Amino acid sequence: MAANVSQVDSAILGLKREFEVIAHNLANVGTAGYKRRCNAFARCLAGLSAEADVESGRAIDLLTDFDFSQGSIIETGRSLDFALSGRGFFVIETPDGPLYTRNGTFHLDRNGHIVDSAGRMVAGESGPITIPPDVGLSQISVSDDGQIRAGNTLIGRFELVDFGEDEMKLLAAGSSCFSAPQNLRSRPVENLIVKQGFKEASNVKPVEELVDMMMVSRLYEANMQLVSVGKDNSKSILNVAMS
């Protein structure tokens, strides 16, 4: 009985966590470059019987991973919007070290530096990318490999990095950004294309998330009923003992 109660409690906690994950995904449907969090807890739970789990001692993984699949590329026509087609990331400089993002919605700060929506500098291969004050945004062109020009003058080149299959080890850092553990090293990109005047949409699929949310809600209700039944049984046993 204790094993069953413990498993139900674990299931309820896991389902709460997954509900939060799904809600977070849905809240970021419109966030450029957002990569959905994926948690297989509910699907795993739905496919297993409680008895089989108790007998085998099988643990359900509550860890959340990211889906780094490509989002749709949408044309914006804006000079400082950039989408990445292929595997790789832009690099954002912060006081705590570099962050990595697919959100290429950039701006210019008052010093002419290309920055992200939080005002953090976007890294170039040779340092910050600075647009001269006499250069209009319409004059800025970016090639497929990330070279930035004003007319025929080369200004700089975006620093672009890839983590290969190790990208699954990246950690969420907010605002569609990721940080890398100390032992994780980036590598040069391959077959990555920078598209100016476009943005990469979130890879969240709202219909699928809503279906998952309904499944999680049903499983949560079922497990809460098990808890309620367990409490009623405990009260009955106590009443018999007191009589």
How much is the pLDDT for 36? Answer: 93
What is residue 7's predicted lDDT score, i.e. its pLDDT?
65
- Residue 136 burial (10 A CB sphere; 0-12, 13-18, 19+): exposed
* Predicted pLDDT at 104: 97
10-residue mean pLDDT series, the chain (243 residues): 57 84 93 88 57 44 77 97 97 96 96 95 94 92 96 93 94 92 92 97 94 87 73 44 41
SS (H, E, C) 108-153: ECCCCEEECCCCCEEEECCEECECCCCCCHHHEEECCCCEEEECCE
pTM over 0.85: no
Residue 70: predicted pLDDT: 95
pLDDT value of residue 41: 64
pLDDT for the residue numbered 39: 72
